Structures are given as C-alpha cells and as structure tokens.
Amino acid sequence: MSQIDEVRGAADIVKIVGDYVKLRKAGVNLMGLCPFHQEKTPSFAVHPTKQIFHCFGCGVGGDVFKFVLLIENLSFPEALRRVADKVGITLREAPGDESDQAARERGQLYKLHEAAEKFYAAQLTGTAEGRAARAYLADRGLADEVVARFRLGYAASNGQALTRHLSEAGFTPEQMERSGLVQREAERDRVFDRFRRRIIFPISGESGKVVAFGGRALGDEQPKYLNSPETPIYTKGRVLYHLDRAAAAIRKLDYAILVEGYMDCIAVASIGVENVVASCGTSLTENQIRLLARSSRRVVVNYDPDSAGQAATERSLALLLEAGFEVKVLALPAGLDPDSFVRRQGAEAYRKALSLSPTYMDYLTDRAAVEHDISKPEGKVAAAGRVLPYIAQVPNPVLRAELASRLADRLRVDGRLLRQEIERAAGEKRREIRMEPQWAATRVTPAERELLRALLEDEKLADELLPALVDEGVLEGLAAEALFRQFREARRRGEKLDASSLEDQVTSEHQRLTYECLLDGGEAPDRVRALSCVIALKRAKAEREREKLQTAIREAERERNQEKLGELLRAKDKLVKELSQLGRP
Ligand SMILES: [Zn+2]
C-alpha cells in the first residue's frame, strides 16, 4: 500500500472537513455551507463512505487531500504531510519521487525567502543607508510598529548584499537564481541582487509564507515598483497582497476592500480596517477574484481616482460583476489615493467615506450623469448606453431588472423600455456563452448519469458491463464517452474506480461529473436499474443511427440510386427491429 493510500485510509474526511465547515446529515451525505464560495443555502456535500466532497454550487470537489490543499493553499505533498500529521502517521521520504523533489525545491525556496525577508528587515535598521530609507518611511507616516507588522525591509544600492548573505547562509547559486532575487549577468558571469535601493514589501501566499517581494524605488529610478519574477512558489495574478492576514476579517465582516498598491493597503490596515487587500499593479485577475470569493462575495473597490485608476476600476468591476460579486465603489474626494487620504484626513474620515460608498450602479450612473446632460434626450440615451452594458453583465435576472428600474428612475425614462433593452443585451451575452462548447454535465442524459454512478459504486457491475459498452460502440457520441472509456482502462489495469485516483486522468468537467454522480443522493443504484440504463443508451444510439439512415435514404431517393436505396432500407428495417426489441421507453 502506498503512503498516500495509507494516510487516506486513516483519515476521516468528515472529521477533517468538520474543522472548517459545519456539517449536517442529509440522507447518506453530509451537507454544509461551501467554504470555497459564498452561499446562504448549503450545496457543499461530503460522502462519508466514499470519503469525498463536492460543491454543487461552484463545482469544486475531491478527496481529503484536495480539500486540505485548497483550504490551506498547499501543494499536494504539503497537503499529504498535513493530513498525515493530523492522523499521526510519519511519512517516509521517497527519494527520486518527482513530486517529492518538487516539494523539496519549493521548501528550499520558502526558506530562502524567509532568510531574505529577515535580511531586508535588518538592513532597514542596521545600516546607514537603511536608516535613511527608514526616515523616508517615517516621513510617509509609517510608525515603527507598522513597519514591523508588515515586515518592511530595505535592499541596499550596492547590488551584492543579499547575494553575499544568502551564499553565506548556505544557499547554492542555482537556488538563488531560481528565487529570482538574484540575477546572473551572462557576459561577466557574475551574480547580483535583483532589488537595489528599494523599500521591500514581502508578499505572502494565503498560508502566510513569503513567496515574493515588491520593491519601491527610493529615488526616481524606474520602474517605481519592481516585483519578483514568477517562480515555482509565485505566480503573478494568483496572490492578493495582505489576504493572508485579511481573510479572517473579510469573512467576519463579509466584505473586502480592494486597493491598488502596497502603501494603500498598509495605510488602510494600519488604521484598524483589516479587511483590505491589494491587487498590486496588475489589473485584477480572475484567479484573484476566485481567491477573494472564498472569503466573501462583497467588495468595495477603492482604486486611485486618476484616469488609469478609473480604467482599472471599470475593468475589475466588469470581472467582479460577472463572478456574481456585490460591488461598491469608494472614490475618495480631492483625487486622493487611500494612502494619501488616510495620511491627510485621518482614520475617521476614511471610515466615514467607506461607509458611504455607493453601489457600483449608482457610481456609474453618477459618472454618466456628470459626463452627459441628462436633462436632454440625447444625454439620457448616452448615459443609459454607458451603464447598460454593466447591468447586462449581472448574472441574476431579478437583480438585473431592479437595477434597470433604478437607472430608469434616475434618468427619468420609461423603465419598461430600458428593461427590454437590458434583457436583449443580456440575452445576446448568454447566446455568446452558449456558442462555446457546452459543459459536458449539462448534456449528460439521466441514463448516462445513473449508469456512471452504478459503475462507480459497484466494481463487479463495472467489469460485467464496461467491455460490451465500449466494444459495441454504445457510448459513441455520448457526453461522458471519454469518462466511460477511462473507467474501462482503469479496470483493465486492475485499478479501483476511485473518484480521487481518476482525477489525474480525466478532464475537470468529467471529474466534476463523477463527484456529482457519486453525491447524487437518492436510491442506491442496483443491477436491474443499471441494465435498464444500458438499454436506454442502446436505444438512444439506435435512434441516432436511424436518423442518419433517414437522411441518407432521402439523399439516395434524390439521386435515384436504387441499389443504394435498397441497401439503406434493409439497414433501416434491421434497426427498427432492434429498436422494437429494446422496447419503448
Ligand atoms: Zn462551492
């Protein structure tokens, strides 16, 4: 038995999930509120005998390792280790194992970042150059306590300090280069620090471990902000600055404040408004939105009011609306960014402005009303045109209609016309989506679904039915065809039909389908029902063929090809007989 199986066997998913989610018994399953998306009615299911979880809302699912991996934001080996610790199993090191190798490499990188963070922090107080930087920070209103809390540091201008320090600490040149903190100059074959003469902001992943750094130029050097490159532990657009510390407050208050930069984030958090995160330079990505959605689906966007900030705000807003977020916008007065606003006007003023943040639609309408003269018909049309596309993006139709009415009131136009216009725009948007290949699960017939579940539950039945299903071509053209074939291959190799071990071999759609089938609830499948599903699939296949034949027959009639026609009609007769043997549905 592999170590993975050993740990899986010893762990109880109900208990481990129960540490994070309140679960209630519902039939064979346990249900709770999904920790990976915001919801009010439980759609997160745990199957105690299969030892799997699945959310019918957001589609996430897997075994106990996957759960720990997602909720703690760990790599697979780390999640394995975490679960092993929980159940008291000591893992053997398996040298040469590639995933272990990768985990070790990541482990080294975390250690290197930790060492670098301490070094940068010490530079800020321990060197003359660092003290000058410290004075600059003090001038920006950052107290010692804040500098310590955000673990700010300083990178010296000489370009060798960190390289020398890491090398003395025993890190190899390869490790240093892989971290991106040290760069190689090819021509002269020497290495030097990436960050020079910059204030250093450590960037942590959700677990709180430092994964990258941001550096702000102390003088007029360009770029003003420089970040770590991507490494095995850091992917741009997959980290939100300060989320590791803010997550608890965001969950508690059920909303997040989204700002642009490190300094904005620190300024807001240091006045005790803890539920703040920064997207940091990049415009907000879908991955960042997904990260945020685990804690709350309500957000106040507080970007810089300059024109670049405006554009970034509107791009972010479109993405957030599509993800079903409830969005407010805080545009601070006098063109101030959060950092300067807090410094000049103080904590109370910021809290007050925050509490008055208008909803996104009101914000947009206000702006449109400023840009256009809404006392004139052309102005109304232009203003409505500015706001409509955003309303059309809101996924919930009831909310969409309400927003349309509010916009109509504000512009004093006919609400019915405006709602029609929005439904037309929203319909177009949905049609666009429908053009894309449909999600397999939505095309899966009930017979397919039930058969999948029966095969997953009963291996003997799988061995009895799968070979014929594949060989006789019954599955051809089905939405889950590839999944059935994977089952067959797995059984051929003598593997268990186990949802979590199949995970690497099937597409994410099919993975989701597998979990849905297993957590379906309802009666347990049995052989008789499974056989009736097979018959239903055979009938569906025969009917598809009959349609094809019918088209070919019409073609042959047009061509007056008597020989071909006779052949086709005989084939059709045969099919009709087969169909009658399969019985009526
Ligand atoms: Zn969910």
Residue 267: pLDDT band with limits 50, 70, 90: very high
Give residue for tokens 């297993």: 518
Interval 74-86: pLDDT, tens:
777 788 888 988 8
- Ligand 1 centre and the CA of 59: distance in Å? 6
- Ligand 1 centre and the CA of 232: distance in Å? 27
**CATH code where residue 136 lies:** 3.90.980.10
Number of neighbours of residue 566 by Cβ within 10 angstroms: 11
Domain boundary among 195, 227, 259: 227
Find the domain containing 136 and state its range: 98-227
Decide if 433 is inside a domain. Answer: no
Strand partners, 576: none
Lowest-pLDDT range of 143-157, 168-182, 565-579: 565-579
- Ligand 1 centre and the CA of 517: distance in Å? 16
Residue 269: pLDDT band with limits 50, 70, 90: very high
Contact between 541 and 476 (Cβ < 8 Å): yes
- Ligand 1 centre and the CA of 472: distance in Å? 38
- Ligand 1 centre and the CA of 498: distance in Å? 22
**Sheet with 256-259, edge to edge strand ranges:** 276-278, 256-259, 298-301, 326-329
Helical (H) or strand (E) element with 185? strand 182-185
Residues with CB under 5 A from ligand 1 (ion): 34, 36-37, 55, 57-58
Residue 306: pLDDT band with limits 50, 70, 90: low
- Ligand 1 centre and the CA of 223: distance in Å? 40
**CATH code where residue 40 lies:** 3.90.580.10
Quick one: CA dihedral 443, 290, 297, 357, positive or negative?
A: negative
Same domain, 353 and 368: no
pLDDT value, residue 53:
92
Same domain, 493 and 404: no
Decide if 93 is inside a domain. Answer: no
Decide if 290 is inside a domain. Answer: yes
Pairing type for strands 298-301 and 326-329 reads parallel
Name which residue leads in pLDDT, 269 or 318: 269
Same domain, 176 and 214: yes
Classified as helix, coil or strand, 240 is coil
Overall average pLDDT of the 480-491 stretch: 85
Distance CA 474, CA 241 (A): 52
- Ligand 1 centre and the CA of 40: distance in Å? 11
- Ligand 1 centre and the CA of 387: distance in Å? 30
Judge whether residue 94 has pLDDT over 70.
Answer: no
Overall average pLDDT of the 106-131 stretch: 94
Give residue for tokens 């049309």: 381
Judge whether residue 431 has pLDDT over 50.
Answer: no
Same domain, 343 and 448: no
Residue 308: pLDDT band with limits 50, 70, 90: low
Q: What value does the mean pLDDT of the chain take?
A: 84
Distance CA 315, CA 319 (A): 7
Of 358, 346, 347, 272, whose CA–CA distance to 313 is shortest? 358
Judge whether residue 465 has pLDDT over 80.
Answer: yes
Helical (H) or strand (E) element with 300? strand 298-301
Same domain, 158 and 78: no
Judge whether residue 95 has pLDDT over 60.
Answer: no
- Report the percent of the chain where pLDDT is more than 70: 91
Name which residue leads in pLDDT, 272 or 50: 272
Overall average pLDDT of the 271-289 stretch: 85
pLDDT value, residue 307:
57
Contact between 15 and 23 (Cβ < 8 Å): no
Same domain, 462 and 576: yes
Same domain, 247 and 342: yes
pLDDT value, residue 439:
45
pLDDT value, residue 1:
59
The total domain count for the chain is 5
Judge whether residue 96 has pLDDT over 80.
Answer: no
Same domain, 45 and 127: no
Which region, left, alpha or beta, applies to residue 288 given φ > 0 means left and ψ of -120 to 50 means alpha? alpha
Same domain, 22 and 151: no
pLDDT value, residue 438:
37
Decide if 187 is inside a domain. Answer: yes
Same domain, 504 and 550: yes
Residues ≥6 apart with Cβ < 8 Å to 71: 20, 35, 36
Decide if 113 is inside a domain. Answer: yes
- Ligand 1 centre and the CA of 349: distance in Å? 37
Q: Where are the alpha helices (DSSP H) in 144-285?
A: 144-149, 161-168, 173-178, 243-253, 262-270
Domain boundary among 400, 427, 454: 427
pLDDT value, residue 391:
82
**CATH code where residue 305 lies:** 3.40.1360.10
Burial of residue 511, with CB atoms counted within 10 A of its CB: 0-12 exposed, 13-18 middle, 19 or more buried: buried
Domain boundary among 87, 113, 135: 87
Distance CA 473, CA 465 (A): 13
pLDDT value, residue 440:
45
Of 465, 474, 432, whose CA–CA distance to 531 is shortest? 465
- Ligand 1 centre and the CA of 565: distance in Å? 55
Same domain, 184 and 263: no
Same domain, 471 and 417: no
Decide if 521 is inside a domain. Answer: yes
Residues ≥6 apart with Cβ < 8 Å to 57: 34, 37, 39, 43, 44
Decide if 238 is inside a domain. Answer: no
Overall average pLDDT of the 455-473 stretch: 87
**574, amino acid identity:** K
Burial of residue 144, with CB atoms counted within 10 A of its CB: 0-12 exposed, 13-18 middle, 19 or more buried: exposed
Decide if 140 is inside a domain. Answer: yes
Residue 93: pLDDT band with limits 50, 70, 90: low
